[in-house]
Amino acid sequence: MGPKVKEMPVVSKMFCSSTQVVLGVRTRPHVVGGGGFVVTDLHSHAVVFRVDGCGVVGKKDQITLADAYQTPLLLIRRKGGIVEALSLYKQWGGYAPDYVGSQKLVFTLKDPNACFANNRPVRVSIEQKDESIYFQINGYFQDKECSIVDSGGNVIAQVGVSKEMMETKDLYHVVVKPGIDQAFVVGVIAVLDYIHNGSTRC
């Protein structure tokens, strides 16, 4: 038996696997339910997550992530206002509903503001036990060739298109490393999809 995999639960430890997981992402056309995408386990072909874009949710700059049973896991929305207009980054927050019905901030994604971009990377942070853990996006999500990298330079998830899928960008895969919360990874991908005018956008 090998060493125990260190889990990094962000949404829930039930989405952390002791082995590497390959997820398939299939975008839904805007005409079917208003956009979003479905995430399946490429090994079992079972649906794992569903992401609804603002066409379904009915609010601009808002996305929801649910599990296979349509149980809400994350509400993702953009933090707007005058502060953002003057900021180097546009900010998105991923919120988990708790048992009291309020919302807890799970992660923050900072997308470089076009006016100040200057090749700044997309940054993601999570708050855990009195510490902040930082990640950044390397590569180009619009080409479905990018990775989520932690502050130590370790790739925790990789987005790509396999050769048999080359014909379309509507179907791509995400490799999630052992111990990493798959719901968190899919939440980050949902924001990247929206930023790059993907299927989650109205």
Residues paired with residue 8 on neighbouring β-strands, in sequence order: 180
Spatial contact of 2 and 168, defined as CB atoms under 8 Å apart: no
For each of the domains in the chain, give its residue range(s) and CATH number, in order of start.
19-195 (2.40.160.200)
Rounded distance between C-alpha atoms, residue 27 and residue 135, angstroms = 25
Spatial contact of 147 and 139, defined as CB atoms under 8 Å apart: yes
Closest CA to 107 of 119, 95, 116: 95
Rounded distance between C-alpha atoms, residue 147 and residue 143, angstroms = 12
CB atoms within 10 A of CB 22: 15
**pLDDT computed for residue 135 by the predictor:** 97
What string of pLDDT tens digits covers the 202 residues of the chain?
Answer: 456 778 999 999 999 999 999 999 998 766 555 579 999 999 899 999 999 987 776 778 899 999 999 999 999 999 876 555 566 788 999 999 876 667 889 999 999 866 555 667 899 999 877 788 999 999 999 999 999 999 999 999 999 987 655 555 678 999 999 999 999 999 999 999 999 888 888 7
**Amino acid identity, residue 177?**
K
**pLDDT computed for residue 29 by the predictor:** 67
- Two tokens, residue 91: 């900010």
Closest CA to 181 of 38, 67, 97, 78: 67
- Supply the Cα-derived Rg of the chain in whole angstroms: 16
**pLDDT computed for residue 120 by the predictor:** 78
Rounded distance between C-alpha atoms, residue 184 and residue 73, angstroms = 10
Rounded distance between C-alpha atoms, residue 29 and residue 90, angstroms = 26
